[in-house]
Structure 1
C-alpha cells in the first residue's frame, strides 16, 4: 500500500538515511576548535614576540637582503655587460682593421710606404755620397798641389843626385857588366840542368804509365774471366736446382700414385669386411628364428586360449558400439526433424515480416529519391563552393608568391645594387682616406710621394674610380642627366669611424717592461699599452659564492636594512612591555 507524504518529510527522511552524515558532536567540537584558533590569532596579532610576527619580521629582513643583493647584482651585471660590450667593440674594430690591412690594396699602400722610406733613405744616401765626393775632390786637389810641389822639389833633388851619381854609375858600370855576364852564365847552366831533369822525369812517367796500362789490361782480363766463371757456376747451379726440382716432382707423383693405390686397397678391404659382418648377422638371425619356431606346444595352447578370449571381448565391444551408434542416429534423426519444423516456422515468420517491411521499403524509396536529389544538390553546391574557394586560394597564393618574388627581387637588387655599391664606396673611401693619411705622413717626414701616388693610381685604374670621358654630342641630347663622377677622391661628407675607447690600463708599464707598439705606416713607434693581467678579485661574485642571487659587495655598497617596526600591544588583559605608556 503506497504512503503519501510531503516533500519536506521525504527530504528529512532522505537526509537521515545518508551514510556519510557526520556526528553533530564532532561538528560542534570542530567549530569550537576553529573558534578558539581564530580568537587566539586575533589576540596574538599585536604581540611582537608571537611566532607570526617574528616570522613576518624575518621574512621582511630576508626580502630586504634579497632586494639589496639583487640591486648589487644588477649593478655589477650592468657594469660587466658594458665592459664586455666595450671589449667586443675593441675586438671587432681590431679585427676589421686587421682584415682591412690584410687586403691587397692596403698591402700595396704599405709596400708603397716602405718604398717611400727606401727612396728617402736613398736620397739621403745620394746627398751624403755627393758631399763625400766633393770632400774627396777638394782633398784630392789639395793633395795634387802638394804632390806637384813635392814633385818639383823631388825633381830638383833628383837632378842633383843624378849629377852626383853619374860619376858613380860610370865607375860601377864595368862591375855591373861583369856581374851580369856571371849571372847569365849561371842561369844558362841552371836552365840546362832543369831540362835534363825534366827529360828524366818524363822517361820515368812514361814507364809508370805503361806499367799502369799493363796492370789495367791484366785486371780487365782477370775480371772478365771471373765474370765468365761466375756465369758458368750460376748456370750449373740453375741446372742442378732444375734437376733437383724435377726429381722432387717425380717423387711427389710416385707418392701420390702409391697413396691412391693404398686408398683403393683399403676401400676394397673395408667393403669386404662390411659384407662379412652383414652375412654373419643374417646367419645369427636365422638361427634365432629357427629356435623360436621349435617352441613348446603347451605354450601355444595357452596363447590360443588367451587369443580366443580377447576375440570374444572384442566382438562384445563391437556389438555395444553398434547399439550405441543406432541409438545416436535415431536421436539425431529426431533432432533433425524438430529443427526442420522450427526452421519452417521461422521462415514463415520471416516471410510475414518481409511482406510487412517491403511495403515500408516501397514507401521509403520515394522519400529516398527526394533525399538523394537534395543530397546531390548539396554536393553540387559544396563543389561550387570548394571550386570558388580553390580559385580564391590559388589567386591568393599566386599574389603572395608574386609579392614574395617581388620582395626577394627588390631585396636582391638592393643587396647586389645599392647596398653593394655603398659597401664598395665605403671601402674606397676608407682606403683613399688611409692613403691621404699616408701621404700626409710622408709629407711631414719629407719622403717622396711617387710610390704612394702610383699605388693609388693603380687602385683607381683597377676599380675604375677615375671619371669617365664626356659623352659624344650625339648622345648628350638623349642623356642630359649623365655627368662623369670622380671616385678617386673620398666623399666630402665621409668621416672615418672613430676607434672605440681604449681599455683602462691595469698597471702602467715601466721603461723595461714597455713593449714596442704597433706602427701604422712608418711613423715613430710608440709603446703599446700592456696586456691586461688576469687577476681574480675578491668581489667577483662567481668566486665569492654560488650565483644564487644573494651576492653583494660589502666594500662598495654596505648593506642597509629597513628599521624594525614595533607594533604596540592592544590587548587589555595583557601587561607586557609593549603596552603604550600613558602619562
Structure 2
C-alpha cells in the first residue's frame, strides 16, 4: 500500500503548490478486502446469525411436519390433555349445575312442606277449623270428666270397703284386748306373790352378809391401827437419824467454806504483790525511756542546726557566683524573644497573603463551577422537556391500546354472561315445565279433611264424637251444604220415612265421609215438600 501525488494537465512541480495537487492511495485487492471485511464484520456476523436461525427454523418446521400426525408427540399429548381438561371443566360445570338444581328442588320441596304445615297450623287455630279443634278438646274434656267421675266412684267404694274392714279389725282387736287383759291380771297376781317371797329371802340373806362384813371390817381396822403405830415409831427413828446426818454435813460444809476463804485471801495477797512489782518495773522503764527520748531530741536539734549552717554557707556562695550569669542569660533570652517575635510576625504576614490568594482562586473556581452547573441544569431541563413530550406521547398510545384491550375483555365477558343468562333462563323454563305445582285445596275440602282427621283421633282415643259431629252439621247448615231434599224431608231425623226406615243424623255422618254431601235417605220423593 502506497500514496502518490498526481498533477493535472499543464501543471508542473514548479508552478503548483502541494495543496493544489491530487493525492491518491494505492492498495492491493487483498489489503482492500481485509479493510472492507473489518468494516463489514457486524453485517457478516448478522448474516451468519440469520443463516443459523433460518436453518434452525427449517429443521423445526421439518420436525413439526413430520410429527404432527404422531399420537405420542408432545404437541398431541398437550392437545389431548387440554381437551381432557376442557371436558372435565365442562363436566364439573354440568355437575355443579345439576347439584344446584337438585338442591333448589329439594329446598322448594322443604319450603312447600313447611308452608303447608304452617298454613295447616294457622288454619286449625282460626275460623271454622278452630270450632272443630274446640269440639275435639270438649270431647277430650268430656271423656276425661267421665273417667274422673268413674275414678271418684271407685275411690269412694274403695274407701267404704276399707272403712268396713277397719271397723271389723278394731272390733276384733278390742275383744282380744279385753281377753288378754283378764289373763294378764291373773298372771300378774301370781308373779307378784312369787316376787314378794323372793324379796323377803333376799333381804334376810343381805342382813346376814352385812353382819359378817361388819365383823371383818372391825378386825381389819384393828390390824391397821397396830401397823400404823409401828410405822410411826419407825418414822421417828428415821427423823432422828436424818437430823444427825444433816448436822454433820453442815459442819463439813462450814469447814470447807472456811478453807476456801483462806485460800482465796492468800491468792489475792500474792496477786497484789505481783501487781506492785509490775508497777515498779513499769515506772523504772518509763523513766529510762524518757531519758533516752530527751537525749535523742537534743542530738537531733544539734544535727539540724549544723545542717542549716552548712546550707546557709552554700547558698551565699552560689548567690554570689550566679548574679553575673543571670544577667547574661536575661539579655540572651530578650534577644531570642525579639527574634522569635519577628519571625512569627513575618510568618503571619506570609500566611495572610497566601490565604488571600487562595480565597481569590477559590472564588474564581466557584464562579466557573457555578457557570458549568447552570449550563448542565439548562441542558437537563431541555432534555427533560423533550423526554416529557416523548413520554406523554408514548403513554397516550399505551393508554389507548390498554383501553381497547380492556373494552375487548368487557365485551367478551358480557357475551359470556349473556350466554350464561340465556342458558340459565332456558334451564329454568325447562324445570318449570317438569315441576309439579301444589294445588291449593278448597276451603270446604280442607275443612272436611281436618274434620276426618279430628274424628279419627277422637275414635282412636275413645272420646265422644257428638261435639265434633255437631260442629260439622252446623258448618253444613251454615254454608248450605246439606241437599235441599234432605232439609225438606218430613221424615228425616228420628221419625220414620214412608219406606219405614230410620235415618239418624249422627249415624249418617258416621257412615258417609264428611266430604260427600249427597243425601242417602231412601224416603219417597212424594214426601218431599214442594
So what's the TM-score if we normalise by structure 1?
0.25
Q: Which has the higher contact order (CA 8 A, sep 6+)?
A: 1
Greater C-alpha radius of gyration: 2
More helix by share: 2
So what's the TM-score if we normalise by structure 2?
0.27
